[in-house]
Structure 1
Amino acid sequence: MTFRKRVQTALRASALHLACSLLIAALAAGLVFGLWYPFPYRDLSGGRELFLLVVVVDVVCGPLLTAVLFTPTKPRAELVRDLGIVALIQLSALGYGLWTVQEARPLFLVFEVDRFKVINAPALEDADLKSLEPSLRPSLWEGPKMVAIRKPRDIQEKNSVLFSALSGGRDYAERPDFYVPYADEAALQAHHRAYKLDRFLQKYPQHSARAEEIALKNGDSQENLVYLPITGRQDWIAILDSKSNIVGFMKGDGF
């Protein structure tokens, strides 16, 4: 077999491998960005960069190794072994990447006094999560859950959290034992502490069209929408309707 013929055959095999890799990467992206890091958490928690790094390396390296190793004149058993090793390495790398992304994913969007705070998995302890009531426990097959913070039961509990936070420890939002459903009184409190959306739009007039789109989509008037800031890796706001439901997000400093 001529060198040119060998290269053409190897490139065809590599192209097929690339197509399969892209399909698997697309399925993985659906899991990551459709479930674990839905909009806007890919920006608030930084999952996009980590996932793209893993996938790009994985998608590129697999087909390149196939192009190098694929030789039609090889014995069939040897060829299957070589390509099988490449596929195993590639799938192992993708699996490890997905596990890493999952371990860093956002678990909760916590309403805390006058803002929402994104809480990622590394900030919480497994024992605390297991102590939550079943409806509040995060699941591998669900996105971030919305919760609120209950009031301290007594001054001793309040001081314990205060001193912990002042010394660099965990604040209320990082303590699942303070989590309660985001509903009823907590939702009313969120609406009470929220700002009129016009306040944000005066600072970021480029978002006016998006604000009108959100209002129309939810059958409401833009004047009735309010917002609360979100603290995360970037500055965003959560837009609330008259029932304190989150109906949209916008990028910008809400304070």
Structure 2
Amino acid sequence: MTSRKRAFTIHLVISLAVLVPVLGWIFHAWYPWPYPVLQGAWVMLGVMVLAHLAVGPLLTALVFKPGKRGLVFDLCVIALLQAGALAWGVYAVGQQRPAWLVFAVDRLNVLSNGEIMGPVPQVPASLRNAGPVLVYAEMPTGDAAQQLLQETMFEGLPDIEHRPEFWRPWVAGRGVISRATRPVTELVAARPASAGPVGKTVTDAGLTLDMATFLPVMGRERDAAAILNPADGTLLGLVVVDPWVDEDAVN
């Protein structure tokens, strides 16, 4: 093995040793499954990985020559550029991460902090890096409802799922949320291919299919079904499947 190939291999191993834990943390805290699919995160993550590996090992292979004057300086510059590329990638991924799972009307919406209007609500640190936070967007009544209609229809303001002033704790909307759910058996009947993942999600929670319900989930790129325990409103998991079973009946 030539010295240049050896330098490339060593730098590649070091780069992977840094990258793998970073990706593990991203998938655990920011993009637990199936949010990479729902939010279309694979391209962004791929760019981050390629930038990290291209700026590091590939540049090392290009500049490395034993005894070259200024080699140590070149390698230090490459290391700084690589660290900067990785930091930028992590920041970009973090800005787009699914931070909120907001119930509004009859569905759940996956939103990043950049997709909400106004200041970002503060949440405990224990929840901040444990996947999207569940909240309930309360539909206003009376004059407030008329004001909302005017703002969304004529002033171009976003709807309630994007506006934290309408958000309430998940438990506060249990009754409304429960009335919007459908029996999960309807989902399985309309989408037979979902029987496996839906059944596993339900049985892992100690329930049977006839005991669970579901809600549609709207992601940036794909939709899914949220499987719920109707007894307490607990979210059991998400299954990547077309959840719009009513549209099939219409069509």
Q: Which TM-score band (shorter chain)?
A: 0.7 to 0.9
Structure 1 residue 196 corresponds to structure 2 residue 196: no
Task: Spell out, residue by residue over 1:123-149, the C-alpha distance to the aligned partner (whole angstroms, 9 max, x if none).
Answer: 124x522xx4x4479976342100001
Structure 1, unaligned runs of 5 or more: 1-6
Aligned residue type for 1:211:
V
**Residue aligning to 2:233:** 244
Task: Spell out, residue by residue over 1:168-204, the C-alpha distance to the aligned partner (whole angstroms, 9 max, x if none).
Answer: 42100010111111014x1232122111111111222
Q: Residue 99 of structure 2: SS of its match in structure 1?
A: strand
| Higher Rg of the two aligned structures | 1
TM-score of the superposed pair, with normalisation by structure 1: 0.87
Superposition misfits of 4+ residues, deviation over 3 angstroms: 134-142
Q: Is the alpha carbon distance of 1:136 and 1:230 closer, same or farther for their aligned partners in structure 2, counting shifts above 3 Å?
A: farther
- Structure 1 window deviating more from structure 2 (96-105 vs 56-65): it is 56-65
CA contact (8 A) 1:128 1:175 kept: no
Q: Is the alpha carbon distance of 1:205 and 1:147 closer, same or farther for their aligned partners in structure 2, counting shifts above 3 Å?
A: same
2:169 equivalent among 153, 174, 181: 181
**Residue aligning to 2:116:** 124
Rounded Cα–Cα distance in structure 2 between residues aligned with 1:106 and 1:53: 18
CA-atom RMSD in angstroms: 2.1
**Residue aligning to 1:169:** 157
CA contact (8 A) 2:215 2:225 kept: yes
Structure 2, unaligned runs of 5 or more: 245-251
2:106 equivalent among 108, 114, 125: 114
2:30 equivalent among 11, 31, 36: 36
1:214 equivalent among 182, 198, 201: 201
Task: Spell out, residue by residue over 1:195-248, the C-alpha distance to the aligned partner (whole angstroms, 9 max, x if none).
Answer: 111111122211212222222211111111110001122110100013211112
Q: Is the alpha carbon distance of 1:200 and 1:119 closer, same or farther for their aligned partners in structure 2, counting shifts above 3 Å?
A: same
Rounded Cα–Cα distance in structure 2 between residues aligned with 1:103 and 1:211: 30
Between the two proteins, the alignment pairs up a number of residues equal to 241
**Residue aligning to 2:248:** none
